Amino acid sequence: MSRARDSVRPTVSLVTSSDVDADELLALYRELGWHSHARPDRVAGVLANSDILAAAFDRDGRLVAFARVLTDHVLYAMVHDVMVAPRFQRRGLGSELVRVLLAELTSIRRVSLTCDPGVVPFYERLEFEPSTRSMDRYQEE
Ligand SMILES: CC(C)(COP(=O)(O)OP(=O)(O)OC[C@H]1O[C@@H](n2cnc3c(N)ncnc32)[C@H](O)[C@@H]1OP(=O)(O)O)[C@@H](O)C(=O)NCCC(=O)NCCS
């Protein structure tokens, strides 16, 4: 892809699982170094079983930004996998991904996410607050 094409800022929208090419999602996970996500069986599950998906595509129709939500549609929602391809970062796409998802979650009591400490400022700008209340349990691989 040429730099001229990269200069066009894609638009984020809600999508369905059939709008997202599993191989392109796999490639985005890999590009961002999320290797535990980047397995074909997992990508298939992510697309089939998430409740809300948002994405942006470049002018060639390739996936360049993606995020998803798991929710009971009443009390809880978890935002996962907020990702922008490096060549499109720091141009507002990540913020737009989260805002598009939050617009679907206005009646949900608690919207949560986990993130690396370095990304905290990004989410604070979107009115998330750090929490000490969450705990995780991982399955060994
Ligand atoms: C984090 C991420 C989604 C942000 O997307 P983005 O499109 O680059 O973000 P935006 O352009 O909307 O950023 C808005 C503001 O958030 C802050 N911000 C953005 N990325 C940041 C980062 N990595 N660290 C700290 N602050 C950040 C900045 O204040 C930025 O404003 P500025 O560019 O004027 O300084 C993107 O960098 C990414 O995909 N990173 C790798 C995957 C990841 O860590 N995802 C989060 C997992 S929970």
The pLDDT value given to residue 140: 87
Query: With bands split at pLDDT 50, 70 and 90, how would you rate the model's confidence at 4?
Result: low
**Is the pLDDT assigned to residue 9 strictly greater than 80?**
yes
Percent of the chain with pLDDT over 90: 89
The pLDDT value given to residue 6: 73
Nearest CA to ligand 1 atom 29: 122
- The answer to whether the CB of 118 is under 6 A from ligand 1 is yes
For residue 122, how far is its CA from the centre of ligand 1 (angstroms)? 5
Q: What are the tens digits of pLDDT across the range 68-127?
A: 999 999 999 999 999 999 999 999 999 999 999 999 999 999 999 999 999 999 999 999
- The answer to whether the CB of 119 is under 6 A from ligand 1 is yes
Nearest CA to ligand 1 atom 2: 94
- The answer to whether the CB of 87 is under 6 A from ligand 1 is no
- For the domain made up of 3-124, give the CATH fold: Aminopeptidase (3.40.630)
Please, how many CA atoms are within 13 Å of residue 87, restricted to the half-sphere of its CB? 17
User: What is the C-alpha separation between 72 and 54, in angstroms, rounded?
Assistant: 18
For residue 87, how far is its CA from the centre of ligand 1 (angstroms)? 12
Nearest to 71 by CA among 91, 56, 89, 49: 49
Atom of ligand 1 nearest to the CA of 114: 48
- The answer to whether the CB of 1 is under 6 A from ligand 1 is no
